[in-house]
């Protein structure tokens, strides 16, 4: 697993180093000292080497074998992980994430992971925002030159040297007494709108 994670790290590092990425409204992340960064699961890989998230930062990763590989790759990028998902160990992982937040770390959610349905926000990220008091900062990645894997999320693999856009949304403060479903729907719509904007700016679409 260590060898595989090292090889995956090298491939992702080399690939992402070739990407030409433009960041839109980066001030939303730069002006927020601590946050919960939120993006669709399919967009995580191209942002590993080129994301401008502030470290230290922690990502929730599933307890599956694939999750172990992802956790080791994240660690090589200097990103820690809390192990769990909506289907296995989610409560413990959420507690770990909140503890990391209390220690001053920002945290990352791919709210449709680890198994989908794709682009459907689960409740956990809203509970995390309510409990921690941290703002949600939604973001999305888009590129025209890419391959979409035949995975549940249609994971984006950008082609080398392709142009891309990362679009950030305004920070979303979820009140402690806020209705979970109301804020879940708002976040889902916001992520979809940012993805559409990023795709529009790059001429991208959802075709493989």
Cβ pair 198, 167 in contact under 8 A: yes
Q: What is the pLDDT of residues 47-71, one digit of tens each?
A: 887 777 777 889 888 777 778 888 8
Tens digit of pLDDT at every position of the chain (208 positions): 889 999 999 999 999 999 999 999 999 999 999 999 999 999 998 888 777 777 788 988 877 777 888 889 999 988 888 876 655 556 888 898 999 999 999 999 999 978 889 999 999 999 999 999 999 999 999 999 999 999 999 999 999 999 999 999 999 999 999 999 999 999 999 999 999 999 999 987 655 4
**Token digits for 105?**
């770390």
**Closest C-alpha among 127, 118, 138, 188 to residue 37:** 138
The pTM of this model reads 0.91
**Closest C-alpha among 135, 138, 137 to residue 174:** 135
DSSP state of 76: H
Tally of CB atoms within 10 A around 59 = 22
In 3-state terms the chain splits into helix, strand, coil percentages (rounded to 5) of 40, 20, 40
């Amino acid at each position: 697993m260590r060898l595989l994670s090292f090889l995956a790290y090298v491939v992702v590092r080399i690939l992402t180093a070739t990407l030409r990425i433009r960041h839109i409204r980066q001030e939303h992340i730069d002006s927020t000292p601590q946050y919960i960064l939120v993006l669709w699961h399919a967009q995580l890989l191209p942002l590993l080497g080129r994301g401008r998230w502030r470290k230290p930062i922690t990502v929730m990763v599933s307890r599956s074998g694939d999750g172990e590989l992802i956790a080791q790759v994240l660690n090589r990028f200097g990103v820690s992980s809390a192990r769990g998902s909506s289907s296995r160990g989610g409560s413990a992982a959420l507690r770990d994430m909140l503890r990391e937040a209390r220690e001053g770390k920002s945290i990352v959610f791919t709210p449709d992971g680890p198994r989908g349905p794709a682009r459907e926000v689960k409740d956990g990220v809203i509970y995390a925002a309510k409990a921690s008091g941290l703002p949600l900062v939604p973001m999305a990645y888009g590129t025209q030159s890419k391959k979409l894997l035949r995975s549940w999320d249609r994971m984006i693999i950008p082609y080398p040297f392709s142009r891309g856009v990362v679009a950030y949304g305004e920070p979303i403060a979820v009140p402690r007494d806020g209705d979970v479903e109301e804020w879940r729907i708002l976040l889902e719509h916001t992520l979809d709108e940012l993805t559409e904007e990023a795709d529009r700016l790059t001429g991208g679409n959802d075709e493989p």
